Structure 1
């Protein structure tokens, strides 16, 4: 066992090797200024290698409770990712058993090592609760103060944000269908879509997730959703992917799209697109009709006037253009027609009266 005096000197020696300054505060009453770098040189050989490693291990063990993951839980929007990172973090610390219920709190005080086992359980349980509190928002952390064990804290968060209700599933389905790539890169678009997929997967039961035909069907559905929301720049690659048998996974498709994105970007920088090279036609494009422009249009775009907000059947420009031509009907001028009618009647009246001898004009 290293004595306190030698341990203090070994700590100062480690500080010469750029050990974090927090290691110098391992003992109460000893400040970092008490160990000047000039007191012990790197070439000092009075400390054995085991003593130096003991400093590292004890310092690491002491600062272990301050470590936590960098992801902060904000609610149901990122619970899937947060729980994934936290679970792997606890597994790496060999403490996931305290959350899953494998390591339970000792209750039999008659056992030989009861006091030591209880202390070990309480220390590790408190570490996990501290890690969880350091990785959630303050509004969520306040709700965790009423729980004493890490398993209770974990189950509370799981009940709170893993809700298999129909309203949440309905909203996620709407968000997935409304998500479009637009100006996002492939990586940004894939991350946004994956976030919605993961939240939707939380609404599935464990039996469905273990059913292989269902997971295969879900993977195909995700591939279709991802390809449908891509920009028209990737139409050529999209068409080739849809004709493959069997269909590739989403991850392999994203890998191909990343390479295609780099190729299109390099062509755009060289000005190839401006010289008249157009993207490949749509795999679902209609047969070419002479005299009509071709190309894939958006779901809310008119294929006639290329404006958004209506389809071709309701296009005001097309309806105005297709109205039948009605030639104007000829009618004599109003003043001439009236004078002509009045003159005719007067002439007829004069002739009739002249004929019977009662009136001469």
Structure 2
């Protein structure tokens, strides 16, 4: 809300910078119009129950001050709730980007409720550098929190970051871990592609070969045996494979140029018996 008011150049109506002009003047009419506009913006963004409680306030400054008095303080319960969520947060199945966004949101909420102390030196040039030291200590603590909550597959990059001197800030650590995640995904994708390419390559023979650690690669000799044509035929008369019933010599007779050891008389007897 503060950003919206500042962008519209109306922030002075809630922080008390603009003084209410005297009634009946030209300035009062311009102030009243802008004041009503700011009140309408604030009421539109409030919960219905809260909006009813401030509906009859006449100036944006009074409305804002009333809301600030009721809700503009941090309780220990809010800090406890945020710290509990932070302690229970882990990466899990989230990507590094998603996890960093969640943990940074909690950090920003804690900073808004409980900001860091600042230097109160009265001199123009601060010599204690208290604010900088506190900020560096906070960055180191948050780097440790971020690394502790990462998955175990980032253990190597975690160890490398912890050995750095000086230790980088949170944003730099996030970039390093995100690059490591991209590298792991690229490597895994390359391995998967190579395995898929190897699986698609078919050898010149069919079948499976065996492999053992002691004897190594052992090809199946059946893979190299040339299969005879027409091996799908089967004769129900001879109970043999290699020819069909329509091509059985024992039923229809042997051809004249047949050089096998079969007795041709058997074929002739079969034909005569079938003709009778």
Instruction: Supply the distance in 2 between the matched residues of 1:237 and 1:246 (Cα, whole angstroms).
Output: 16
Q: 2:81 maps to which residue? A: 171
User: 1:127 offset after TM fit, Å?
Assistant: 1.8
The one of 169, 176, 192 aligned to 1:249: 169
User: In terms of Rg, which structure is larger?
Assistant: 2
The one of 5, 14, 28 aligned to 1:118: 28
Instruction: Supply the distance in 1 between the matched residues of 2:144 and 2:156 (Cα, whole angstroms).
Output: 15
CA contact (8 A) 1:162 1:202 kept: no
Instruction: Supply the distance in 2 between the matched residues of 1:234 and 1:161 (Cα, whole angstroms).
Output: 41
Change (3 A) 1:177 1:106: same
The one of 201, 208, 212 aligned to 2:117: 208
User: 1:187 offset after TM fit, Å?
Assistant: 2.5
CA contact (8 A) 1:128 1:150 kept: yes
Instruction: Supply the distance in 2 between the matched residues of 1:158 and 1:216 (Cα, whole angstroms).
Output: 31
User: 1:179 offset after TM fit, Å?
Assistant: 0.6
1:175-226: CA deviation from partner (whole Å, max 9, x where unpaired): 1111111112222222221222222223326x71555132332222222212
Asked if 1:238 corresponds to 2:153, the answer is no
CA contact (8 A) 1:209 1:215 kept: no
Instruction: Supply the distance in 1 between the matched residues of 2:56 and 2:101 (Cα, whole angstroms).
Output: 35
User: What TM-score results when the alignment is normalised by the length of structure 2?
Assistant: 0.57
Change (3 A) 1:94 1:253: same
Structure with the larger RCO, 1 or 2 (CA within 8 Å, 6+ apart) = 1
- Secondary structure (helix, strand or coil) at the match of 2:21 reads coil
1:126-183: CA deviation from partner (whole Å, max 9, x where unpaired): 2222222333443443343243332333344444444332232222222111111111
1:34-72: CA deviation from partner (whole Å, max 9, x where unpaired): xxxxxxxxxxxxxxxxxxxxxxxxxxxxxxxxxxxxxxx
What runs of 5+ residues in structure 1 fail to find an aligned partner?
1-85, 276-361
User: What TM-score results when the alignment is normalised by the length of structure 1?
Assistant: 0.45
The one of 181, 193, 197 aligned to 2:91: 181
Q: 1:196 maps to which residue? A: 106
Aligned-pair RMSD on alpha carbons? 2.8
Say how many residue pairs are matched: 183
What runs of 5+ residues in structure 2 fail to find an aligned partner?
120-129, 196-276
Q: 1:132 maps to which residue? A: 42
Asked if 1:93 corresponds to 2:8, the answer is yes
Asked if 1:150 corresponds to 2:70, the answer is no
Q: What does 1:250-289 align with in structure 2 at a 5 Å threshold?
A: 250-271=170-191
Instruction: Supply the distance in 2 between the matched residues of 1:191 and 1:142 (Cα, whole angstroms).
Output: 35
Change (3 A) 1:128 1:190: farther
